[in-house]
Amino acid sequence: MTELDRDLREAVDALRAGQLVGLPTETVYGLAADARNTQAVARIFAAKGRPADHPLIVHLASADQLDDWAREIPEAARRLAAAFWPGPLTLILKRQPDVPDAVTGGQDTVGLRVPAHPVAHAVLSAFGGGLAAPSANRFGRISPTTAAHVREELGDAVAVVLDGGGCEVGIESTIVDLSRGVPVMLRPGRVSASELSRVLGEAVLTPEAPDATAPRASGTLASHYAPNTPVRLLDAAALYVAAAAAARAGQRIGVLSRTLIDDAPAHGSVWLQLPNDPVGYAHRLYCDLRRLDQCGASVLLIEAPPQRAEWRAVNDRLQRAAADRPADGEGLPKP
């Protein structure tokens, strides 16, 4: 038996005992518990400090388990599952009556997905049931993309942390609501609205403003994915001006940029450059945000990505991370 086999067995035993497991997926690391065990699910909420009415996503080993958790499943759901599962897509569907309220936040809907990570698949297959698995971090904070992130943030609250390496996608799954007759994207992710529309043969709605009639879903609150350090989103020119002013004042800042600035004012600051493509940027975003959050900066400056469809998911995460940002100019010296 290999070390991984032993770790997998330990993780499955812990899940069956109602404990929490740090689970790697292709998106981010999840904090997994038996979705049918209300006491185990309660441990997720306690460990994360998560509001009780905020629903969880149930992870399944395959689409064959869909009917165990959802009812009135539309053909659109079958088509999307066939096209994108295993993968970074969550479907919101009418729930079966026996799905615990603790998982759904008391709603008549449930979020379901089949992750693509081989370790997650092995655990789910061996466990045999659904696992509720929100991101393995304190509620509203930066999602973890390595096993070390999970251990640093949640410590002894997690019985087992499986190390599956760095997450390939790096941001959370796309969430599509199929519970109201029309497909609606509630959270953007790696799977885009255009890809969904091509499979369905109809447009997927992508509302810009919050929809009061939509089911509550993971990661859709105004402030989310946030570092402890205040965040400001700026265009490249404004970022350079703010960084230069901070350097003159001897203020320590953290910077995430996409464009290479040869004469960046680095005094008292930490600069990280992310790839100038949305897939590469998403892959590194949370890891680099965590690095900057730990560098002792008074504020984090992020160069805002383009407002184009392919950047929608990244912009969504950054705007939520910066939702509690200081007022313009607050915390920064004047240019």
pLDDT tens by residue, 236-277: 889 988 888 888 888 889 999 998 666 666 666 888 999 999
Architecture of the 231-321 domain: 3-Layer(aba) Sandwich (3.40)
Give the model's confidence band at 39: pLDDT under 50 very low, under 70 low, under 90 confident, else very high. Answer: very high
Interatomic CA distance for residues 174 and 169, integer angstroms: 11
pLDDT of residue 262: 61
Domain 3-200 sits in CATH at 3.90.870.10
Q: Look at phi and psi of residue 225 and say left if phi exceeds 0, alpha if psi is from -120 to 50, else beta.
A: left
32 contacts: CB under 8 Å, gap ≥ 6: 15, 20, 21, 22, 23, 59, 123, 131, 132, 133
Condensed to tens digits (0 to 9), the pLDDT of residues 94-133 reads 999 999 999 999 999 999 999 999 999 999 999 999 999 9
Q: Tell whether the model's pLDDT for residue 328 goes beyond 50.
A: no
Percentage of the chain with pLDDT > 90? 79
pLDDT of residue 133: 97
Q: Tell whether the model's pLDDT for residue 1 goes beyond 80.
A: no
Indicate where the chain has its CATH 3.40.50.11030 domain(s): 231-321
Q: Tell whether the model's pLDDT for residue 31 goes beyond 70.
A: yes
Q: Is 123 exposed, middle or buried (0-12, 13-18, 19+ CB in 10 A)?
A: buried
Tell me what the pLDDT averaged over the chain comes to. 92
Residue 57: its H or E element: strand 57-59
Give the model's confidence band at 176: pLDDT under 50 very low, under 70 low, under 90 confident, else very high. Answer: very high
pLDDT of residue 333: 47
Residue 285: its H or E element: helix 278-293
pLDDT of residue 3: 73
Interatomic CA distance for residues 326 and 332, integer angstroms: 9
Residue 232: its H or E element: strand 231-234
Give the model's confidence band at 284: pLDDT under 50 very low, under 70 low, under 90 confident, else very high. Answer: very high
- Residue 170 CB: number of other CB atoms within 10 A? 24
Percentage of the chain with pLDDT > 70? 93
pLDDT of residue 2: 74
Q: Look at phi and psi of residue 251 and say left if phi exceeds 0, alpha if psi is from -120 to 50, else beta.
A: beta
Interatomic CA distance for residues 173 and 201, integer angstroms: 21
Indicate where the chain has its CATH 3.90.870.10 domain(s): 3-200
The arithmetic mean of pLDDT across residues 166-173, rounded, is 98
Taking CA atoms, 287 is separated from 59, 312, 331, in Å, by 23, 19, 24
Q: Give alpha helix (H) positions in 55-116.
A: 66-69, 75-84, 101-104
Taking CA atoms, 218 is separated from 43, 151, 172, 181, 243, in Å, by 17, 22, 9, 20, 34
Dump the DSSP string for 131-166.
EE--BSSSTTBPPP-SHHHHHHHHGGG-SEE----S
Give the model's confidence band at 327: pLDDT under 50 very low, under 70 low, under 90 confident, else very high. Answer: very low
Instruction: State CA 131 to chain mean position distance.
Output: 16
